[in-house]
Structure 1
């Protein structure tokens, strides 16, 4: 099984595993975009988003609030869970994101991930990824409703009828499962997770400086700097093309 394609001489490929239901994944997206804006060759970076479900068994309809879900998961009190949410909201704000966990509706993200694969075929993967993250974490949209997903896909530029057909048929369900199998093969247990150039892995929503350093590292390895000649401006005697010009004695 091919896990991902390494970078080519013309492109740096960045594979990113993330879940729509992951607050740190939206922060990681913003920080990567910040790193990309500072990178010297942004037009030569190809980004591919991969599916990852933090909880594949999550129900589509959940009566549990975000606060109560965190309290149960981590064995905290509701007040402590609220403090966790407030901290995350503050972190997101520093990266220009406006989280509203009080409006968030927990759901299963499997169908949403399928639409991201459909969007990839039309060059709209990043646009839809952004729209879904914002809808879930900032706007309180219920992503467990296929009609909501179709509307959001349309807002991102996809054809609504095509998006609805993709959800009804499940044509992209296997693509989601393949992404998750790749993540397991790579030992990815948390997201966001970045793989740069098929070689370097960066785990978590690292600062933009870390991601920029990784981009520069891959670039330097795939695009070595030309040699700088030292010495006099005029070339000294040497051997070229398999021959050596040896002056004859007079």
Structure 2
């Protein structure tokens, strides 16, 4: 299973920013990204300060077909060249780990798909003030409910569930209004040297890679807040 770099705290660049802004690169099809989101949310809940979050696009497997025929085991075993028995064990471990975070992963129902349109939908949601809500909805739909998040109709339905205008979202997806924004996110990830997700950038200068423990995220929040007030 790709998408989980070794967890470290690293300097990204020297640009200071206020207030505490956290930019999160992640993919809808990344199981560690949902786990990392929950752990980060626990850190924010226990931290004494305000945090502004923005999600950014990253495709772990851009060559994935929209309508992949097969299970998640099939995808990882054949598309990624992994042993099926190893995949089964890995998915079982991932399901248990996700359960510890209150998530109910269902890899048997999961519909593996290309996530490009989902990322465009998230940019649409950001423009309408509902990005966090749609991010949560898409991750749950993909990992817990077996929804097909690579299709326009499904994305429009899920978007309307969090309060987005269905007709406007459909038009944006069909016209690829936010395709350039997705490309810009991926280009920025490249510039930062991000090659796996989730990846968290604090105040544009401190990077935390991987689905770290809440304590690591709080450490990063404390560090950027202290440096900003110095």
What is the TM-score of this pair, normalised by structure 1? 0.84
Shift of 1:157: 1.0
The 3-state SS of whatever aligns with 1:14 is strand
Alignment length (residue pairs): 217
Q: Which has the higher contact order (CA 8 A, sep 6+)?
A: 2
Contact 2:26 2:58 (8 Å CA) reproduced? yes
Which of the numbers 166, 175, 183 marks the counterpart of 1:169? Answer: 175
How far is the alpha carbon of 1:6 from its aligned partner? 4.6
Q: Within 5 Å, which residues of 2 pair with 1:50-129?
A: 50-72=56-78, 75-129=81-135
Q: Is the 8 A contact 1:14 1:45 kept in 2?
A: yes
SS at match of 1:130: helix
**Of 183, 187, 191, which residue of structure 2 is paired with 1:181?**
187
Give the match's secondary structure for 1:140.
coil
Residue 23 of structure 1 aligns with which residue? Answer: 31
Cross-structure match for 1:199 = 205
Q: Deviations over 1:107-149 (max 9, x none)?
A: 1000010010011111111000000000001000011221110
**Could you give the per-residue CA deviations for residues 75-115 of structure 1, whole angstroms, max 9, x where no partner exists?**
44322211100000011011111100000011100001001
Cα distance in structure 2, aligned partners of 1:76 and 1:112: 26
Moved over 4 A (4+): none
Gaps of 5+ in 1: 225-250
25, 39, 42: which is aligned to 2:47? 39
The answer to whether the 8 Å contact 1:6/1:13 transfers is: no
Equivalent position SS for 2:103: coil
Stretches of structure 2 lacking an aligned partner (at least 5 in a row): 1-12
